Amino acid sequence: MVTVTSVPDAGMRLHHLELRDVRLFVEAVLDVPAGGTTVLSGPNGSGKTTLLEAVAFLGSQRSFRTTVREAMVRNGTERAILRAELEHEQRPLRVECELLAGGAARTLVNHRAARRRGELAEAVPVTAFSPDDLGLVQGPPLRRRELLDAALRLLDHRAAAHLDAMDRVLRQRGALLRQAGARLSGEVASTLDVWDGRLVASGQAVSGARRELLADVQPAVEAAYEQLVGPGAAGAGVTMTYVPGWEGELADALAASRPDDVRRAVSTVGPHRDELALGIGGRDARVRASQGEQRCLALALRLGLHHLVTERRGDAPLLLLDDVFSELDPDRSRALARLLPPGQALLTTAAPLPEGIEVDTVVDVRTVGRRA
């Protein structure tokens, strides 16, 4: 029998979740029992994933299901409300978010406005596993950058500040390029000088932090992958290579790309173009690995970062496992369960869990709320 996880004496715990007008829910209330692992069961379309999505959103302001976060607002309504009551190191936390149909969001932590995403990551630290994680390997570089950046926000306050600064600069630089109308006037050039200087400062710091994080987590990812694929798997070696989104010095690359940036009205070089190249047994994992290998590598990436964050923070982020075991054979399901470090977990399933996996509490999601 493999127990998915157990709750340490101290750390972060979710006690209570309330939703109003979130996707199919008119309202929903979930009281999380004291046990370590809560399974949310129910048929497809009953709202299991929505509950996990809401918890993850409170800690990141992003959905792990879509890049269009306003899609979380129930059709025909103007706003969604998400609330959670948590405990961190025996201190109560209340996190509330109002998400408007237009995409704007306002979040409070203990009744005070959260001004940075790092504050939310600290208040509601989560690691989310989902069937869509295959996109971490198959998908565009953005997915892999976001994976690293989410971990940085939990591990390094300085890196989190640089990430926020970089995002602001890229938004402002992009707006200026669009307003320029493909003309590099003196005023546009002088304003670009300002934004480029700020992008160099924050962007180099972000790329350096990502590279250092990758080096730190690589052994854990390699070990997790080997355990997931099983002993004796041919060509199982994992490689992870950080590829910056420019050549040479960033200031020089921005200067050289300026005419093209103005013409195309986009920032063509910089840390927002960085890539994490993945390999298995010397092969490009994105195009030359089997889907089974890709899925195990995606899980290993999540597991490696989760272990690193748990080790450095001293407590585990909340684990959100959305129908993950349905994508794995029983042996790999049990291997995944064994690899999860201690901490609270919410797990969804529409079918019985694989034999040999033990959990603490099962909640029928059809009992937690009213649907449209």
Mind listing the pLDDT tens digit for each residue in 259-304?
999 999 999 999 999 999 999 999 999 999 999 899 999 999 999 9
- Please determine, for residue 182, whether its predicted confidence score (pLDDT) is greater than 90: yes
d(CA 274, CA 210): 10
Q: What is the pLDDT of residue 331?
A: 87
Confidence of residue 207 (pLDDT cuts 50, 70, 90): very high
| pTM greater than 0.75 | yes
Mind listing the pLDDT tens digit for each residue in 25-51?
999 999 997 668 899 999 999 999 999
Mean local confidence (pLDDT), 180-195: 96
Mind listing the pLDDT tens digit for each residue in 65-114?
888 999 999 999 999 999 999 988 788 999 999 999 998 999 999 999 98
Three-class SS of the chain: CEECCCCCCCCEEEEEEEEEEECCEEEEEEECCCCCEEEEECCCCCCHHHHHHHHHHHHHCCCCCCCCHHHHECCCCCEEEEEEEEEECCEEEEEEEEEECCCCEEEEECCEECCCHHHHHHHCCEEEECHHHHHHHHCCHHHHHHHHHHHHHHHCHHHHHHHHHHHHHHHHHHHHHHHHCCCCCHHHHHHHHHHHHHHHHHHHHHHHHHHHHHHHHHHHHHHHHHHHHCCCCCCCCEEEEEECCCCCCHHHHHHHHHHHHHHHCCCCCCHHHCEEEEEECCEEHHHHCCHHHHHHHHHHHHHHHHHHHHHHHCCCCEEEEECCHHHCCHHHHHHHHHHCCCCCEEEEECCCCCCCEECCEEEEHHHCEEEC
| Choice among 13-22, 69-78, 176-185, 307-316 with the minimum mean pLDDT | 307-316
Mind listing the pLDDT tens digit for each residue in 222-237?
999 999 987 666 556 8
What residue segments make up the domains of the chain, in order of their start? 1-125+317-372, 140-314
Q: Which CATH architecture has domain 1-125+317-372?
A: 3-Layer(aba) Sandwich (3.40)
Mean local confidence (pLDDT), 134-157: 94
Check whether domain 140-314 has CATH 1.20.1050.90, yes or no: yes
